[in-house]
Chains A and B, each alone.
Chain A
Amino acid sequence: MTTSEQSYPKPADVSVAAAPEPIDAELAAALNELEGGGIGWGETARFAFATLRANPLRTLLTALGVLIGVAAVVALLAIGRGSQESITASITANGANLLTIRSGATNTPGGIRGAVGGAQNLTIADAEALANPEAAPNVALVSPEYMGNAQLVAGANNLNARVTGATANYAAVHNSSLAEGEFISDEHVRTTANVAVLGANVAETLFPDQSAVGQQLRVNGQSFSVIGVLESSGGTGFGSVDDGIIVPLSTAQRKLFGARSLRGSLTMQTVVVQARSAEAVDGALAEVQAVLRAEHRLPSDGSEDDFSVINQQDILETVTETTRMLTLFLAAIAAISLLVGGIGIMNIMLVSVRERTREIGLRKALGAREGDILRQFLFESLALSGVGGLVGLLIGTVIALTLDVTGLFTASLSWDAVLLAFGFALTVGLFFGIAPARSAARLDPIVALRYE
């Protein structure tokens, strides 16, 4: 924008030989008055929208590119976010802030390594040590778990299923809730009771037409009473317990599977530890390692652990990162179609400038400044991308919600994704509107008025 100094010279600079009047204060005031005023933003926007309304089909087709792009970005971001949330939910459905400790590999002097868990060197004593709040203050709950497979028979029905030997802590650690009956109690564990809690699918298979609680079933030939049925955790998600049964830990170790004894204490494959909070997970991990190394009498010289700890948060982060990358990748592809939509806008705006050359010439003759014309055409391309963006948001939202309702995908809309897509659409409209608007603004009115 020119300042008043630049727009006209001071009296000393004027060298007009035959000027009837010299430039004086009165003239300067007149010129200042001329510089003021000009068309407002509202009027400029009104001109732009009037043009778009005058040719609705062209407006629609031009906005379509941006519309599809925005709809795709919104729908894909919603689906990506929804998938991420549903995966996260299914992981944390089995309990939050968990550390899963498994027996380490067998280390032989020959350097031959067995499979992880092959050593079976986690014991009841280890679990009790981990539950000691003085040794491991960040550990809230400890759930020692013995896993085995067994043939289940109830009347004419039978199936092979996973049998988990657990303590009363299992339900709290894994967020298990009961559909009916009760869970394994400390008393059951202490008395090595032949009681079982059934997963939802197992209950359905073995006792299809009746309540399972109170019924008898045979596990590897031994008779067990059903004391409870777990609520379905939904589908066959990660670590689902729907397809297994839970018995007291001592019963699994002694009666069903004959667990090995180590240092005078029975072993199991897995101990699941719940930290007090998400922040306490790292502290709990260090405590678990320290306690178990002491229990296993490993030297504190940095030698390898004979157990492994899987941090649930690590898994969560990995999964989150993976789905996030996938979502961004898909959104980037959708964004490319937005860009193509922008080129469509530029194309139509260039055609429009050519078609309306005489109108532009007229507007300039009537007193439109370069900036006025520039703004009018920028508004048009912005309005095209803005309208396309808004309708695209709507359609993208509908697509996401429809997919969510039909159960094909889990979709989760978020404001930041919506604003991102709309903001990007406006940016595209602005960017691709600049070149046509400049060419319109720079037209020479004399040439433009004569343009045929």
Chain B
Amino acid sequence: MTSADTERTGFLYPFIDADEHDPESLLADLAKSAQAKVHESSALQRSTLDECAELVASAGAQMAERFASGGRMYAFGNGGSSTDAATFAALFAQPITGRPLPAMNLAADQAVVTALGNDVGFELVFSRQIIAHASSRDIAVAMSTSGSSADLMMALGEASRRGLMTIGFAGYEGGQMATSSEVGYCFVVRSQSIHRIQESQALLGYQLWATVQQHLMPAESAPHRRGDTT
């Protein structure tokens, strides 16, 4: 019996599981299952990058223009995606290499998030911050797996009306983000697994960051602009 079979039918035969004392076969199954999932995630990352290559290139170029003209980026999401948005923002703001760029994670301030959630409703926790912080040269990035979270769609709509560049990360078939006119760039990871979607979104974000950095490199003719007098 494979572990998948055991998962589906184990509840019918609890006495079998209760009598199980040697973890060896379970551990072997777990290791094999983990390897299969890594293969799946790796393949999904590759197909996602391939499918989104042109979109990444043009979104990265436009983001770079906005950063170059003084724009900043707001990243946001819910749950695990909010932490992925925070990682994405940190990659821009404090990169180990390359140029640091102004990028904020809109879920970072518990005072602001709870104040908005309590006073005006959770659906407005990000859009109200866009109203407060954003200018028309800025960038709004929403990370989601469903592509349809109400608070993210509200924020993207607000950002779009204010002239921001709007980017959505989605999974499944893209949800509302894929068809909304308020989302300028929508990156869809075509998977039904929230975990696998998030893993591919991380690499998409990394690729977007790398593209922006590439555009913001000084021209090679003038590489020694400062601090290079020796």
Q: Are A and B co-members of a single complex? A: no
A interface list, Cβ under 8 A from B: none
